[in-house]
């Protein structure tokens, strides 16, 4: 990569961002495609000032991460309809034209989760159980509904779980009970099982019978306890790196207008996690 006066700048806005794997993934993708672009971490505590910086410093796009995914909506000029439904944006495209500079917000988290699942199972007319009631569960739930799947929310907090289920128009059930309706897909959208608690699973192993596909959004470790338990039941297991990969693929394509080098990006992520 050679940075010069024509290099276009992209980045990730959040607090913190130093742990993010996105710079590695996107920079290797830009290099593989001979794109004169660079992607950098942009730590900020002032979201409004950061977005003004995008307009004034010729930055062409950013990822948005915690704690700004919801707050950013009120500061954008345009929002993708699905992102508006989800109530969160993780990708901003800076559009410059005769009418001025416009910040367009999108959400690729749901695209990432859907694509990770579609590699293994048809979503339309399938049923999925989502563990958790936070922002990740919300994005994944709306994405599944967009794909024509049925959804059931399971969570420790009945108040939060029922609220999300009501917004999605779906069922809710307690975490360690069997779902109200049989489902082929189980998705952990919580942080349970993440290092250092990597021997913990969000649900009892005995509840995994009947699922065809088990996906965990946690990617450190790659093989969480939930995925190990799922494999013991013969389930197809999808690790969290796949969702991270495919949401990044969608971002790359929004920013460049060209197909992403998926395998290059996958190798970058796998290399980082293995280290």
185-242 pLDDT per residue, tens:
999 999 999 988 899 999 999 999 999 999 999 999 999 999 999 999 999 999 999 9
pTM: 0.94
Distance in angstroms (rounded) separating the CA atoms of residues 254 and 248: 10
What is the number of alpha carbons within 13 Å of residue 186 lying toward its C-beta? 29
Active-site choice (6, 8, 37, 69): 69
Distance in angstroms (rounded) separating the CA atoms of residues 106 and 85: 11
Tokens linked to 192? 């349970």
Distance in angstroms (rounded) separating the CA atoms of residues 32 and 187: 32
Read off the pLDDT band of 97 (50, 70, 90).
confident
- Please, are residues 239 and 222 in contact by the beta-carbon 8 Å criterion? yes
Read off the pLDDT band of 46 (50, 70, 90).
very high
Could you tell me the end-to-end alpha-carbon distance of the chain, in angstroms, rounded to an integer? 23
What integer pLDDT is reported at residue 98 of this predicted model?
85
Domain boundaries of the chain, sorted by first residue: 8-107+245-274, 110-238
Between the alpha carbon of residue 231 and those of residues 198, 208, 215, 228, the distances in Å are 16, 10, 11, 5
Strands 78-79 and 37-43, sheet pairing:
unpaired
pLDDT over threshold 80, residue 8: yes
Q: Which residues pair with 42 in a beta bridge?
A: 13
Put the strands of the sheet holding 236-238 in their side by side order: 171-174, 150-155, 127-131, 185-188, 213-216, 236-238
What integer pLDDT is reported at residue 215 of this predicted model?
98
What integer pLDDT is reported at residue 12 of this predicted model?
98
Whether 69 is a known active-site residue: answer yes
245-261 pLDDT per residue, tens:
999 999 999 999 999 99
Strand runs labelled E in 7-120: 8-14, 37-43, 59-64, 78-79, 91-97, 100-106
Which CATH code is given to the segment(s) 110-238?
A: 3.40.50.720
pLDDT over threshold 80, residue 1: no
pLDDT over threshold 80, residue 11: yes
- Among residues 226, 167, 163, 168, the alpha carbon closest in space to that of 199 is found at 226
Q: Which CATH architecture has domain 8-107+245-274?
A: 3-Layer(aba) Sandwich (3.40)
Put the strands of the sheet holding 8-14 in their side by side order: 37-43, 8-14, 59-64, 91-97, 100-106, 78-79
Average pLDDT over residues 96-100: 87
């Amino acid at each position: 990569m050679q940075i010069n006066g024509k290099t276009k700048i992209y980045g990730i806005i959040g607090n913190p961002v130093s742990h993010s794997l996105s710079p590695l993934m996107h920079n290797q993708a830009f290099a593989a495609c001979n794109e004169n672009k660079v992607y950098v971490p942009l730590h900020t505590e002032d979201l409004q000032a950061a977005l003004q910086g995008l307009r004034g410093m010729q930055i062409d796009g950013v990822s948005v991460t915690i704690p700004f995914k919801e707050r950013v909506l009120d500061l954008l000029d345009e929002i993708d309809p699905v992102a508006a439904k989800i109530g969160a944006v993780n990708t901003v495209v800076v559009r410059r034209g005769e009418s001025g500079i416009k910040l367009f917000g999108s959400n690729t988290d749901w695209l990432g989760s859907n694509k990770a699942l579609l590699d293994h199972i048809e979503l339309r007319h399938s049923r999925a159980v989502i563990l958790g009631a936070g922002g990740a569960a919300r994005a994944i739930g709306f994405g599944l509904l967009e794909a024509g799947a049925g959804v059931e929310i399971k969570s420790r907090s009945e108040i939060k779980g029922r609220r999300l289920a009501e917004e999605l128009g779906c069922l809710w059930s307690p975490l360690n009970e069997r779902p109200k309706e049989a489902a082929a897909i189980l998705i952990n959208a919580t942080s349970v099982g993440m290092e250092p608690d990597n021997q913990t699973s969000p649900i009892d192993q005995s509840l995994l019978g009947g699922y065809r596909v088990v996906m965990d959004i946690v990617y450190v470790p790659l093989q969480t306890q939930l995925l190990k338990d799922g494999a013991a039941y013969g389930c197809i297991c999808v690790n969290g790196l796949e969702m991270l990969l495919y949401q990044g693929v969608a971002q790359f394509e929004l920013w460049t207008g060209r197909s992403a080098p998926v395998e290059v990006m996958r190798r970058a992520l796998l290399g980082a996690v293995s280290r």
